[in-house]
Chain A
Amino acid sequence: MTDSKYFTTTKKGEIFELKAELNSDKKEKKKEAVKKVIASMTVGKDVSALFPDVVNCMQTDNLELKKLVYLYLMNYAKSQPDMAIMAVNTFVKDCEDPNPLIRALAVRTMGCIRVDKITEYLCEPLRKCLKDEDPYVRKTAAVCVAKLHDINAQLVEDQGFLDTLKDLISDSNPMVVANAVAALSEIAESHPSSNLLDLNPQSINKLLTALNECTEWGQIFILDCLANYMPKDDREAQSICERVTPRLSHANSAVVLSAVKVLMKFMEMLSKDLDYYGTLLKKLAPPLVTLLSAEPELQYVALRNINLIVQKRPEILKHEMKVFFVKYNDPIYVKLEKLDIMIRLASQANIAQVLAELKEYATEVDVDFVRKAVRAIGRCAIKVEQSAERCVSTLLDLIQTKVNYVVQEAIVVIKDIFRKYPNKYESVIATLCENLDSLDEPEARAAMIWIVGEYAERIDNADELLESFLEGFHDESTQVQLQLLTAIVKLFLKKPTETQELVQQVLSLATQDSDNPDLRDRGYIYWRLLSTDPVAAKEVVLAEKPLISEETDLIEPTLLDELICYIGTLASVYHKPPSAFVEGSRGVVHKSLPPRTGSSESAESPEAAPSAGQAAEQPAVIPAQGDLLGDLLNLDLGPPVSGPPLAASSVQMGAVDLLGGGLDSLLRSDVGGSPAMGGGGGFAAPGPAVPASMGAPLGSGLGDLFDLTGGVGTLSGSYVAPKSVWLPAMKAKGLEISGTFSRQVGSISMDLVLTNKALQVMSDFAIQFNRNSFGLAPAAPLQVHAPLAPNQSVEISLPLNTVGSVMKMDPLNNLQVAVKNNIDVFYFSTLYPLHILFVEDGKMERQMFLATWKDIPNENEAQFQIKDCSLSADAVSSKLQGSNIFTIAKRNVEGQDMLYQSLKLTNGIWVLAELRIQPSNPTFTLSLKCRAPEVSQHVYQAYDTILKN
């Protein structure tokens, strides 16, 4: 006597047969017939034709039959709206039934029938049911409001159901409260602007009380609702946390995760010094770990969330590494997630264990998993420096296994390790080279080629190796082609004599035989570089590469904070905010973590502070997206981004010109490197840039000038040299001009003294500058108010700007000036001290400094001695600061003080300096690095001047 008999009706005339049975007089037969109809429905058969016959069975006091008919109605009412009206009367009548079960059933079913005509009749019964004496009916009615709102939102608002629903939050029965909250949350989600769930301390209190008494599902609704509340201070946050904490011990994992969400969010507001904060951290670990012993599907969702939690608060699970160890029969999706978290938790303390595990995983059967495990070993090496050596040897062991995909994966990560720890593990290159032939994946081939190119000088047969790749050049993927091109150019620059043929071959392959615009583009650049200025080419191609960061896949902090608010939801599984994928999200509100309040408020800025601080502590590392140069020329092992076709064609057209040398200057300026490589620096000034080979002879006049000076410079603002005579009277028909330059609060001025040594009155003064290296120009006309009588002097301060036209002068700081008066026009030239061009925002960030320092080739470094200076390091740094030379870091190395300083010129050129001061030695050593090395000499002059005055 099983239900499977309902499936066995004869195919032919099935509907007809059922129809007859439904209209039978016998109750039992009717019921059996409805069951058959339902059975057909469950397997997706269309039995809507029987609608009138089934509805006819509705009028019955047999509850089972009634329920079955209701089931049918819910499925098919929409397709037969006119017929559905027939059922309305019965519904309305049932809503008044003395049995609460029937009342609830009726109101519930009516809500499920999405037919407009029926909804009109639903309002009155629903209103009654919302105020029913029986809580079972009330809670069912609460959900019905949400259903109705979905069908006709306006109707619900007009009928005032929303207010009734809000009142139900204060209901005496916790189940009713929970359902009201669920319904309101659902409605609020579709109307983010409406202030439906207006939470205040009173209603929160009610929710917290209901939380303890309602069913597990109700608890989830209430917790999710609580998570949207913003406590007014840390006290309130703590008290809510205290009342939510017991939910962590619930058997239902969804309750646990919702509670974790509330706690993670409100924890933000608690001061870290609080004892309670520590307690809470401790309490969070066990429930999270427990989630991992549940069914694999639950584990997966839990792991995705733990991944977020570990990034936000690594301290919670730092001792729980072992629970993330992979069991061989875990489903693959669990394995991969566990591996991810293992790496996030890896630290110096547990790295040995982690490595042993990873090595174990690397011999498993599942290819995806093995690959990820090998990659994880590489990530460990990069993350935990102390383990790098062990990681490398583990990887070498794995390469020895000769399992193809393991070898390839290992080579890809070893390339990253080389980048992170240059000049440390190159001894393994020989082993890598042995496996050259087995590499068949583009990423691994590209990585190997990069290694060969980068270390060409240590690999005897580098040319042979690269040549072997070249044979099938056109069959390679773009990634490999680009890499091969770069590697051979590197090889050529390192061993020019033997490899000329090879480089020509690859350049012609890339530029003439290839259809790929990226490849052609890069080929032309190299070709041009090599043909015009091999030295510059060397600087560009063999430039030191910025270090790679340890964790490249961290979620951006603001997104992470938003995702923490979505713990337990789909967003947390996809690690994307709901707005990025929820269909029809009508203006989803971006959630954010509450700011920290209370005692520590002033002490630390919330949120961003920890991550920023972390970054500052490890200045040696810059984020991967920062390596402009690397990406530009050298290291695009990632998927190549093909440029828009338009750009490609323009390159093609320009190519002729390029080869002809017409764009020489353009390329030159690139070689100087500023705009592309400067990491923020570069020539701001338009026009042709400074030729790279320019010498910088010492401006003797300036030197003399400084030797003369003995006075004390102004303490505030830049140092100002005393005035000196620029234009002697005998050369200018009696007009003597002496002057100096100064810089004060961002503005440069030329301080002049005009003296009339002639016998006649002078008037109609005007001044003009010739084009000069930094575009200095008068910002205002020269204003001499009264005519200058004989033997009279006038002091004028002429404001200057740097927006004039630019022309390279020799010496660099030469300024040619023309002064006119009523007598004649006079010309003179003077040298200005470079420090008037040092701008106020010349302080570089530490990280930036390190990266830039490494980035500028060593050839650009210039060293100078500053003699006879007896200032202490601190005095030096404060003195220099007055002239906008900023000390970024100070270190004491073996008794010497090292000052690291930066300054920026008005045209955006950065100059980095290292000043070495030995306590007993009056001679300082100054090393300057700059992309435009010709300024170094003048910068040194400026240093010297400032320090000695």
Chain B
Amino acid sequence: MLMRCGPGCHCPSPSPSNLIPKRVTSKESCQATDGKHRQSQKMIHSLFLINCSGDIFLEKHWKSVVSQSVCDYFFEAQEKAIDVENVPPVISTPHHYLISIYRDKIFFVSVIQTEVPPLFVIEFLHRVADTFQDYFGECSETAIKDNVVIVYELLEEMLDNGFPLATESNILKELIKPPTILRSVVNSITGSSNVGDTLPTGQLSNIPWRRAGVKYTNNEAYFDVIEEIDAIIDKSGSTVFAEIQGVIDSCIKLSGMPDLSLSFMNPRLLDDVSFHPCIRFKRWESERVLSFIPPDGNFRLISYRVSSQNLVAIPVYVKHMISFKENSSSGRFDVTIGPKQNMGKTVEGVVMTVHMPKAVLNMNLTATQGSYTFDPVTKVLTWDVGKITPQKLPNLKGIVNLQSGAPKPEENPSLNIQFKIQQLAISGLKVNRLDMYGEKYKPFKGVKYITKAGKFQVRT
């Protein structure tokens, strides 16, 4: 139970930071004594980008400079976590909180001084990473270092005094032009800059996601309905848990201010949906029609979840026999993958990955189809199967060599399966029609369906 102090009590509060061994470096203690500005109520104070080997390769401060030494607490946690994925996203230090995300082998570590909504920070950090991806084609240390000035300008534009300013890529691109080889050549000849000098049109309109004056010679609107199956299948092949995470990604290249309506054959399937801000919620509530003025370019229109309460069809089955013999340094491995009812569509791009137990030295297997690799260092077995033909089911079997003398592994590995099914939305979701208002021209329209495995795990 927590003991709470009475009002006006000045006793040192038992902060969670007490859990962390204090290692106050000189700079940190400087900060602490700098009492005057210490109590500033900032959202995100500073940002550090750190690579996997622990180098801080970029820092940005929206306020006073926070010493890099604050990251020592992060490194400590990282060391403790062993795996990079396991670093806790919220870490407390004597004077700050570190909220971090891990994306594309980079840690985005933000420094927070006071109570903030952590989700706000995490969402923002992901948005930063998305923006880098969008601008540079990849979000990597090299890309960021190569474009450090643009990165700096972007960060400045995205956050003011801890308040997010512009995070929509449309607006950002009007403020700061993305780098292209052509532009840098032109810039260096003409001396012009890659910073826009007018106020982005969308910034303050009621539709901040779309800029005015968009013009295309070919007007096109494409929608990709992508569904991922998350499932856990138990030893006996029955489904422990399954759900579908679906998204509709759109690529809209339409001139002017088009107003679109997208309707479905079976909108009832969508009971748990997250919308892009452009969608008129009222219209969806009353008519189950997605009505919106789209952003220009690529964006995610909706994401949805079809929960386990509804029946989720599992498109593949796996027969497996993995066993380790007691007191012998070997084991058997035998896995077959087969298709289930898939409305006549082929399952392709099948890849199975297995984290074998530590005691496994090597694997001697034969695949009837595709090829397999086993990395004796990471103990990861990867079997690239390809397409499944129902007539001849792919099978992988053989001998597992164990470290001699090591005890029989306790745990049986889970099989991680990836696959793809083209032209099928496994939930049965179907687009009915797309109508456009507000503009005269006739656009090309297209809808593509694809089903993939998300976190699809088979326990053995």
Contacts and interface: CB of A to CB of B under 8 A. Distances in A.
Contacts of B303: 251, 290
B460 to A, nearest CB: 11
Interface stretch (B211-219, B274-282, B323-331, B429-437): B274-282
A631 to B, nearest CB: 15
Contact of A67 (B101, B114, B195): B195
A447 B52 CA distance: 42
Interface in B149-168: 149-153, 156, 160-161, 163-164, 167-168
Interface string A625-666: 100000000000000000000000000000000000000000
Contacts of B59: 42-44
Contacts of B281: 246, 249
A428 B239 CA distance: 33
Contacts of A150: 37, 40-41
Interface stretch (A430-438, A577-585, A790-798): A577-585
Nearest to A221: B163
A114 B147 contact: no
A143 B160 contact: yes
A949 interface: no
A173 interface: yes
Interface stretch (A297-305, A498-506, A811-819, A831-839): A297-305
Contacts of B145: 2-4, 7
B38 interface: yes
B204 A582 contact: no
Interface stretch (B8-16, B249-257, B261-269, B340-348): B8-16
Given A186-B41, A293-B230, A579-B13, A42 B58 contact: yes
B411 A365 contact: yes
A175 B204 contact: yes
Interface in B96-139: 97, 100-102, 112-120, 122-124, 126
B66 to A, nearest CB: 10
Contact of B14 (A182, A580, A625): A580
B85 A44 contact: no
A150 B45 CA distance: 14
Nearest to A252: B123
B115 A569 contact: yes
B26 interface: no
Given A1-B188, A146-B161, A217-B163, A298 B122 contact: yes
Interface string B17-43: 100000000000000000001111100
Main secondary structure of the interface of A (DSSP, over half): helix
A357 B57 CA distance: 42
A150 B161 CA distance: 11
B38 A290 contact: no
Interface string A923-935: 0000000000000
Nearest to B146: A2
A583 B272 contact: no
B427 interface: no
Interface centre among A2, A151, A325 (most CB of B within 10 A): A2
Given A67-B195, A293-B230, A328-B457, A147 B161 contact: yes
Contacts of A571: 115
Q: Which of A101, A136, A357 has the most CB of B within 10 A?
A: A101
Contacts of A27: 191
B114 A583 contact: yes
Interface in A32-78: 35, 38-39, 42-44, 62-65, 67-68, 71, 75, 78
Contacts of A249: 273-275, 281
Size range of the chain B interface in the assembly: 35 or more
Contacts of B275: 249-251
B17 A257 contact: no
Question: Size range of the interface on A?
Answer: 35 or more
Nearest to A320: B307
Given A101-B198, A249-B273, A249-B274, A559 B89 contact: no
A323 interface: yes
Contacts of B199: 99-101, 134, 136
B63 A301 contact: no
Contacts of B198: 99, 101
Given A189-B41, A290-B274, A568-B119, A581 B16 contact: yes
A580 B13 contact: yes
Contacts of B277: 215-216, 250-251
A239 to B, nearest CB: 16
Most chain A Cβ neighbours within 10 Å, of B64, B68, B90, B309: B90
B272 A287 contact: yes
A883 interface: no
Contacts, number: 300
A254 B119 contact: yes
Contacts of A301: 89-90, 118-119, 122
Interface stretch (B240-248, B370-378, B396-404, B418-426): B240-248
Interface string A396-413: 000001010000000000
B452 to A, nearest CB: 14
B265 to A, nearest CB: 21
Contact of B197 (A63, A68, A258, A556): A63
B37 to A, nearest CB: 7
A65 B275 CA distance: 39
Interface in A569-599: 569-571, 573-574, 576-587
A744 interface: no
Contacts of A319: 309
Nearest to B145: A4
Given A216-B277, A570-B97, A364 B152 contact: no
A580 B455 CA distance: 39
Contacts of B13: 579-581
Contacts of A691: none
A286 B272 contact: yes
Given A254-B120, A293-B245, A3 B148 contact: yes
B16 A298 contact: no
Contacts of B311: none
A325 to B, nearest CB: 5
Contacts of A182: 163
A557 B100 CA distance: 31
A108 B160 CA distance: 8
Nearest to B305: A290
Contacts of A856: none
**Max chain A C-beta neighbours (<10 A), residue from B37, B122, B147, B309:** B122
Given A68-B149, A333-B86, A401 B119 contact: no
A711 B414 CA distance: 85
Contacts of B287: none
Contact of B15 (A38, A64, A580): A580
B4 interface: yes
A154 to B, nearest CB: 13
A435 to B, nearest CB: 16
A891 interface: no
B193 interface: yes
A570 B457 contact: no
A289 B168 CA distance: 26
Contacts of B173: none
B178 interface: no
A556 B272 contact: no
B305 A286 contact: yes
Given A1-B181, A43-B57, A290-B272, A257 B119 contact: yes
A587 B7 contact: yes
Contacts of B95: 583
Nearest to A139: B204
> Can you list the 3 inter-chain pairs with the closest CB atoms, starting with the nearest?
A2-B146, A286-B272, A64-B193
Given A35-B149, A114-B64, A332-B83, 5 more contacts: A108-B160, A217-B167, A257-B117, A298-B122, A327-B232
22 contacts: A1-B185, A3-B146, A3-B148, A38-B152, A43-B56, A43-B59, A63-B197, A99-B199, A134-B199, A136-B199, A175-B203, A179-B163, A213-B206, A251-B277, A290-B272, A290-B303, A293-B305, A301-B118, A301-B122, A581-B13, A583-B39, A583-B113
